Amino acid sequence: MRARLPSTPTLIGLGLCAAILAFAAGDLVHTDSRLPDAGGGCPKTDASCRDARLSDQLARDRAAEPLQDRYDTRAWVYAFGILAIAALTVGYRLRTTSRREWPRIFTNLGVTGVWLGIAAVLLLLATDGSSVSPPPGPLLMVPVILLVAAAAGTLTARSEGWAEESPGGGVREMFVQAGRRAIDIGTAGQIRRSKMDELAAWLSLLTLSLTALTSLLALVFVFAQPGCDTNASPPDWTNPIDSVAAITAIGAMAAAVGALVLRRWVVALVGLVICPVTVLFVLASTCAFY
């Protein structure tokens, strides 16, 4: 039973992610508390009361629009923070455990992604119709990226022939391992390693390219923004840039996760660190934290 308990770094990562989720939930409750009251229920025959309640609800919805926009920007920060912690935790586990146990790590990652996806869908259904609600983009991004990383790791494990070491292998396990080493030394093993190296190089190039594009878009967007102490509006041509930067950042982080699976640690670190920081600067330039 002791071997099945999560390791200390895993528990620390889970604790940090839980703290971010708790802070995000508290932020949502605090944001909703800043809205005016919509009023209580009215009898069906009291038309004036229903009209007054409708007017209050419209005023509440109008007041919720800017608060919802600001919470949406902060929700992206929370999502990127959770992904960064998850990536660092998985990367540390891969570095400190043998390759035979990597399939179990990716299996646990996939199970976590499934449960988070179910929880995200239930949360979206529960908050549907609320004046201020969690945005679906960052809420669903976390489980989707975890599932993509788990699927990539599982496929890599199958193609590479990784297997968890069984305690009762004995002489048979020695012969199996000797056969695998012979295959790896032969032509088939070289072709397989060559394909994995090619995939790793492609993912590394994609990660660096999308990270550079995200940084460039962020610089263009940030320099075009007016100061937070002014009432001026940014130019109209900057409207789609922040959305495109967020999309390229998500793509770069997804490619970085694939590079992390293929043990391109430096490239993965670049994508998983620079992209969240870049998006944070973009959000700060819109006065989301002002």
Q: 109-146 pLDDT, tens per residue?
A: 888 887 888 888 888 888 877 778 888 888 888 988 88
Most confident of 58-62, 74-78, 115-119: 74-78
Structural domain contains residue 168: no
The pLDDT, as a whole number, for residue 64 is 76
Residues 80 and 149 in one domain: yes
Structural domain contains residue 187: no
The whole domain housing 81 covers 7-25+61-163
**29: nearest Cα among 101, 134, 117, 110:** 134
Residues 205 and 271 in one domain: yes
The pLDDT, as a whole number, for residue 20 is 93
Last residue within a domain, chosen from 163, 178, 207: 163
Residues 285 and 232 in one domain: yes
71: which 2 tokens? 């919470």
Residues 208 and 268 in one domain: yes
Structural domain contains residue 287: yes
Structural domain contains residue 92: yes
Residue 274 has pLDDT above 70, yes or no: yes
Least confident of 5-14, 32-41, 79-88: 32-41
Its pTM stands at 0.57
Residues 157 and 202 in one domain: no
268 versus 241: the higher-pLDDT residue is 241
Least confident of 185-194, 201-210, 218-227, 246-255: 185-194
Structural domain contains residue 146: yes
Mean of pLDDT over the chain: 77
**149: nearest Cα among 201, 196, 114:** 114
Burial class (CB in 10 A: 0-12, 13-18, 19+), 148: middle
How many independent structural domains does the chain possess? 2
Residues 153 and 197 in one domain: no
Residues 112 and 222 in one domain: no
Structural domain contains residue 1: no
The pLDDT, as a whole number, for residue 165 is 45
Last residue within a domain, chosen from 163, 178, 204: 163
Residues 212 and 144 in one domain: no
Residue 44 has pLDDT above 60, yes or no: no
The pLDDT, as a whole number, for residue 61 is 72
Q: State how far the Cα of 144 lies from the Cα of 254, in Å rounded to an integer.
A: 10
Residues 135 and 207 in one domain: no
The pLDDT, as a whole number, for residue 21 is 92
Q: 1-28 pLDDT, tens per residue?
A: 344 567 788 888 889 999 999 999 998 8
Q: Identify whether the C-beta of residue 242 lies closer than 8 Å to the C-beta of residue 224.
A: no
Structural domain contains residue 47: no
DSSP string for residues in 195-242:
HHHHHHHHHHHHHHHHHHHHHHHHHHHHHHSPPTTS-PPPPGGGTTHH
